[in-house]
Amino acid sequence: MNSDKDALLDQLRIDADDRHGDTPGSSRRWIFLGCAALILIAFGAYMGLLPGLNTGADDPRNSPQSIDDITAAADTPQTAAPAPLPPATVAATTQAPPSDAVLNASGYVVARRIATVSAQLTGLITEVLVEEGLEVAEGQVLARLDDAVARVNLSLAEAQTEVNKGTIQRIEAALAEAKRVLDRTARLKDNDFSTEAALTRAQADVQSLSAQLIEARATLKVAEFEAARQRETVDDHIIRAPFAGVVIDKSAQPGEIISPVSAGGGFTRTGICTIVDMASLEVEVDVNEAFISRVTARQRVRATLDAYPDWDIPANVIAIVPTADRTKATVRVRIGLESRDPRILPDMGIKVAFLAPQS
């Protein structure tokens, strides 16, 4: 054993010829510096493994009590914080239908009876008797047009009718006299106190006056038709409501020109006002064609207006329109409201839930 140690010491011994002028303590100094460098590298690596060791050092709970505690803390894996729920998942959760609904959709309140009231002829507006929000009855006067010319034409037609009536009375009187003359001439001819020519002339007078009477009566009928037409024309200058409803828009004012046809960019109005029959309100929604199988006729529906989110309106499916919109891949569904309320207005946004059939 001692011989082995002596052999190792002989190998480490430096001959005097190989020192090249080094001092006896220089090799020990280099060995000391190398050991110090190794210690510094190890300490730096140790500090890198525990970056938060110095943070809160004054707190005894953060200060390890031993090297074993420090090593255990370094080897313990850090637990990652739970990731937040993705936004898409949150949206899908909030938009899920309730337990009693098989499908949700959104649409608008629409009116089946809505009309923009106009005139049948072109004329000057002299009076408008409605405003927005006014309830009107069927046949109620909404506006009047200038009918001065129409009334003159009506008076002319009525006068012509009276003239024809007078002509008929004159012809009837002449025909009655011609018939009496014919009767006398016929008796005189039987007694040979009249000639055949007189009898023939009396017969011709009766026939001529009879034809004139027929013509006069036909002319009177034509005059009466013309008078009736002129009365209708005068009446067309009075614009009335076609059905009971509520005025939602007033489009014209007195002094403007109105026409049933567009004036091609001019200042002519084409309507007086717009009337909505509030009793014809219903809901129209577009259902994705992938889910249309969940909708059936007369299916119960719960409707909720965007303006009144806490008010559930009972409704039911009226019809599924038998066509699809290829641009939107949807099918239109008509929904009837089972209750009428003044809060329900045309073009309001509404959400509906198609309910599952009751067992």
Boundaries of every domain in the chain? 24-77, 97-112+278-355, 114-146+239-275, 148-236
Alpha-carbon dihedral of residues 201, 207, 210, 211, nearest 10 degrees?
-120
| 97-112+278-355 and 114-146+239-275 have identical folds | no
- The model's pLDDT over 250-299, given as tens digits with 9 standing for 90+, comes to 999 999 999 888 755 567 888 999 999 999 999 999 999 999 999 999 99
Mean pLDDT of the chain: 81
Does residue 98 carry a pLDDT above 90? no
At the topology level, CATH places domain 114-146+239-275 in OB fold (Dihydrolipoamide Acetyltransferase, E2P) (2.40.50)
Q: In which residue are the tokens 């009855």 written? A: 137
What percentage of residues in the chain have a pLDDT greater than 90? 58
Sign of torsion over alpha carbons 152, 158, 161, 167: negative
Closest-CA residue to 335 (of 291, 302, 288): 302
CATH 2.40.30.170 fits 97-112+278-355, yes or no: yes
pLDDT higher for 56 or 171? 171
Nearest 5°: CA angle at 65, between 63 and 68?
A: 115
Predicted TM-score (pTM) of the model is 0.60
| Calpha distance 149→357 (Å, rounded) | 65
